[in-house]
Amino acid sequence: MYQRILDIRDQSRFVPEKALTQLQALQAKAEQEPPATRAELINQLSVAHLRTGQLDAAMADTEQLISFGRAQHDDAMLAKGLLAKSYVLFEKAEASAAYQLAFEAEKLANKSSDLALRSQAQVTVGQAYAEQGDFPTALSKIQQALDTAREATSDPVMLFGALNALTKLYTQMKEYDKADLTLQEMLELAGQLHSPGRMAAAKTTEYVLAVEIGQYKRAIQAQQLALDLMRKLGSERGVGMALGNLSDAYLKLHDYARAAQYANESLRSTQKSGDRSMESTARANLAQAYLAMGRIAEGKQQYEQALSRYEQENNKPLLQAILREYGEALERVGDTAGAVSAYHRERTISDQLFERRRQQAVLELQEKYETEKKQRQIELLSRDNQLKGTELDNKRLQQRVWWLLALVTALGALIVGMLYRRVRHANAQLEVKNLELKAQSVRDPLTALYNRRHFQDFMRALPHGDARESDLVGALFLLDVDHFKHINDSYGHAAGDAVLKMLAEHLRVALRETDMIVRWGGEEFLAYLPAVSRHGIDDVARRILRSIAAQKVEYQGHSITVQVSVGYAPYPLAPDGTPLPWERVVNLVDMALYLAKAHGRHRAYGLRGFANFEHTTLEAIEQDLERAWRAGFVDLSVVLGDAPDAVPPSPNEANNVVHIKHAHKNSHGT
């Protein structure tokens, strides 16, 4: 009976309707079976109910399994119930509660001898950490799950699940070589399992990897094979997922008509199967296709419905990616206000993820330090005990043989000296390691520039400065690579990394050694100039634009032209006489950068100062910088780039710099 239930397991995952019928037929007979068999039947019933969209029935199954496990005082059975309930809660978009149950289930599973269950729990917890953006912990958990699954030779399905999870995580972390090696092992195992469903799952994972590295032909071939397998199986859920992925591939190839066709088919299929997460993906793909085809209102409606689901799931990395795509799509069709809104939503999530990763790094360093400290204490105690033993022996020898006292004393002094030298040497090595760790914590590993954390610490310690008018001021410049996503999509992420390294190198050339250059995040760079002529800030912006545009990145036979958009301002800024905090100045510079993006790219927008401030507020200016500029509350400079695609200046725009002030209307409208 137990083996018959396990044989239905694949159907529970891929063809749940058929599995549900077979499992329900076994319920009466299972009442006479051992507790472990009855528990597995309830577990598979919850999976089948979940996959058919019957969430209330699935939840009832999980509660029954949890109660049964507690009544039997069986940790493994209880862990199965908690895992099953976490899957139902996640499907209901109750992500936080689902994560807590998964963590509790893993603790129970690790106490049991059921290796397959332990591997399943470790994979689930690893995926939970990945969805929260904590990739180092996620990698540790899933690698642990893979080791456990290799021990559980009687259940190769769990090994397949661990390999699948690890391939996806390596892809998310952009470790593409490792992802490809793990994928090949998984494909080989899928063939040995003779399971069409598992092979379809492996091909879907291959699709995800191929898209990430820009191999779109390979991605479409893999996903088309998965679609054919799912149709033969009669898996509506699998068909919906495969159609959604094909839609996404054609979006990347700019074939919007075919992308919309596959997205609509996916939407219909996912609504039949009740797969809400995949329904949101289908809506996001359909929205992109509609926006590209000029169907703006329909596209925005589909995007907002998709975002609502992602926000419920609290999957921050995925939500961040979707919001970035949304903003770029709105920008392409000219909806600047909508694009700004999406951009700020995405930036909020990006800051949250950055802060979480920073806290995690601090905790890991602290834990490592505490471990090393305890080890040193153990070593010192051991040496201390040895010394005490030597002293006792010396006392006994002193009572028996007085003439050996001088020799023993000399030997003791020698030992103490050696130990003292060793301690000094160990302390010196520790100091070197601490200096190395400190250097690593303030530098970006790709570009060797300062990182965001170091800049934040620097600015917190920096005085606000004198807000009075003077010729010598500080300045903040924020740069963003134009069409960086297109570079990644066209040439691969390695080409994108080469572009970022080139930018870092030429920013060092364009600026002074005393200027601080920071890898702000992704393709964004920030520069702080502590002392520059107030009238020379525009010249710095022009120098940056020209320096970068004059370079080309040679990559695999391609010559890649790189341009940037820039936002900048003097620092400190004091609209009402009181200097603004540096964070607000960076926010205003960020908005100026976005205006440069929205108004044509390859240009710099500089915030020179404020006017008529008694008629407005800083909050209103931060809400919409362009509106404040056009109303005459903000004085902007525009520096145009020299590249061929830049908009040419008018004859009055001397030296490619435009200082623009808009007239402020009084209360009578004059």
Alpha-helix runs per DSSP H in 451-559: 452-461, 484-491, 493-510, 537-549
Predicted confidence band of residue 662 (pLDDT cuts 50, 70, 90): very low
The predicted structure's pLDDT at residue 463: 74
The predicted structure's pLDDT at residue 171: 94
CB contact at 8 A, 160 and 189: yes
Task: Please name the helix (run of DSSP H) or strand (run of DSSP E) that holds residue 577, with its range, or none.
Answer: none
CB contact at 8 A, 618 and 526: no
**What's the alpha-carbon Rg for the chain, to the nearest Å?**
31
Whether 316 shows a pLDDT value over 90: the answer reads no
Predicted confidence band of residue 470 (pLDDT cuts 50, 70, 90): confident
User: How many angstroms separate the CA atoms of 240 and 229, rounded?
Assistant: 12
- Residue that the structure tokens 């106490």 belong to: 111
The predicted structure's pLDDT at residue 144: 93
The predicted structure's pLDDT at residue 611: 87
CB contact at 8 A, 168 and 211: no
Instruction: Give mean pLDDT, residues 565-578.
Output: 90
Predicted confidence band of residue 648 (pLDDT cuts 50, 70, 90): very low
User: How many angstroms separate the CA atoms of 623 and 646, rounded?
Assistant: 28
CB contact at 8 A, 538 and 638: no
Over residues 616-640, the pLDDT tens digits come to 888 889 889 999 999 999 999 999 9
The predicted structure's pLDDT at residue 519: 95
User: How many angstroms separate the CA atoms of 307 and 30, rounded?
Assistant: 43
Over residues 500-521, the pLDDT tens digits come to 999 999 999 899 888 999 999 8
User: How many angstroms separate the CA atoms of 387 and 423, rounded?
Assistant: 15
Say which residue, 14 or 45, is predicted with more confidence.
Answer: 45
Whether 660 shows a pLDDT value over 90: the answer reads no
User: How many angstroms separate the CA atoms of 297 and 152, rounded?
Assistant: 53
The predicted structure's pLDDT at residue 186: 94
The predicted structure's pLDDT at residue 102: 93
User: How many angstroms separate the CA atoms of 621 and 607, rounded?
Assistant: 12
The backbone region for 651, taken as left when phi is positive above 0, alpha when psi lies in -120 to 50, beta otherwise, is: alpha
User: How many angstroms separate the CA atoms of 548 and 448, rounded?
Assistant: 18
CB contact at 8 A, 579 and 464: yes
The predicted structure's pLDDT at residue 651: 32
CB contact at 8 A, 544 and 471: no
Six token digits for residue 155 = 């259940």
Instruction: Give mean pLDDT, residues 325-344.
Output: 80
The predicted structure's pLDDT at residue 94: 87
Over residues 197-220, the pLDDT tens digits come to 889 999 999 999 999 999 999 999
User: How many angstroms separate the CA atoms of 411 and 387, rounded?
Assistant: 12
- Residue that the structure tokens 């893979």 belong to: 146
Predicted confidence band of residue 650 (pLDDT cuts 50, 70, 90): very low
The predicted structure's pLDDT at residue 491: 93
Say which residue, 346 or 284, is predicted with more confidence.
Answer: 284
The predicted structure's pLDDT at residue 366: 63
Q: What is the largest CA-CA distance in the chain?
A: 113
CA atoms within 13 A on the CB side of 396: 5
CB contact at 8 A, 288 and 258: no
Whether 364 shows a pLDDT value over 90: the answer reads no
User: How many angstroms separate the CA atoms of 539 and 656, rounded?
Assistant: 10
Q: What percent of the chain has pLDDT over 90?
A: 46
Predicted confidence band of residue 152 (pLDDT cuts 50, 70, 90): confident
The predicted structure's pLDDT at residue 471: 82
Buried b (16+ CB within 10 A) or exposed e, 333-350: bebbebbbebbbbbbebb
User: How many angstroms separate the CA atoms of 293 and 250, rounded?
Assistant: 14
The predicted structure's pLDDT at residue 103: 94
Contacts of 34 (CB under 8 A, 6+ apart): none
* Cα torsion angle, 18, 22, 27, 32, sign: negative
> In terms of pTM, does the model score above 0.85?
no
Nearest to 459 by CA among 354, 591, 584: 584
Instruction: Give mean pLDDT, residues 181-193.
Output: 93
Average model confidence (pLDDT) for the chain?
Answer: 84
Six token digits for residue 281 = 């993906």
Six token digits for residue 21 = 């019928």
Nearest to 82 by CA among 62, 64, 96: 62
User: How many angstroms separate the CA atoms of 328 and 338, rounded?
Assistant: 10
Using alpha carbons only, give the angle 118, 123, 129 rounded to the nearest 5 degrees. 125
Strand, helix or coil at 621?
helix
CB contact at 8 A, 524 and 480: yes
The predicted structure's pLDDT at residue 652: 38
- Residue that the structure tokens 């699954």 belong to: 149
CA distances from 192 to 119, 199, 290, 299, 346 (A): 20, 10, 42, 44, 43
Predicted confidence band of residue 464 (pLDDT cuts 50, 70, 90): low
Predicted confidence band of residue 160 (pLDDT cuts 50, 70, 90): very high
Which of 105-109, 369-373, 439-443 comes out lowest in average pLDDT? 369-373
Predicted confidence band of residue 655 (pLDDT cuts 50, 70, 90): very low
Nearest to 61 by CA among 94, 84, 83: 84
Neighbours of 304 (CB within 10 A): 12
Whether 668 shows a pLDDT value over 50: the answer reads no
User: How many angstroms separate the CA atoms of 235 and 274, rounded?
Assistant: 12
User: How many angstroms separate the CA atoms of 522 and 349, rounded?
Assistant: 14
The predicted structure's pLDDT at residue 427: 66
The predicted structure's pLDDT at residue 609: 87
Alpha-helix runs per DSSP H in 8-51: 9-14, 16-30, 35-51
User: How many angstroms separate the CA atoms of 618 and 481, rounded?
Assistant: 28
The predicted structure's pLDDT at residue 428: 63
Over residues 392-404, the pLDDT tens digits come to 777 777 777 677 7
Contacts of 454 (CB under 8 A, 6+ apart): 441, 442, 443, 518
CA distances from 22 to 5, 9, 54, 176, 302 (A): 9, 11, 17, 41, 38
CA distances from 308 to 54, 139, 250, 344 (A): 21, 29, 24, 16
Which of 145-159, 183-197, 246-260, 370-384 comes out lowest in average pLDDT? 370-384
**Long-range contacts (CB closer than 8 Å, 24 or more residues apart) made by 219-228:** 219/245, 219/249, 220/246, 220/249, 220/250, 223/249, 225/200, 226/199, 226/200, 226/201
User: How many angstroms separate the CA atoms of 313 and 336, rounded?
Assistant: 28
Predicted confidence band of residue 669 (pLDDT cuts 50, 70, 90): very low
Q: How far does CA 531 lie from the centroid of its chain?
A: 36
The predicted structure's pLDDT at residue 583: 92
Whether 649 shows a pLDDT value over 50: the answer reads no
User: How many angstroms separate the CA atoms of 422 and 515, rounded?
Assistant: 42
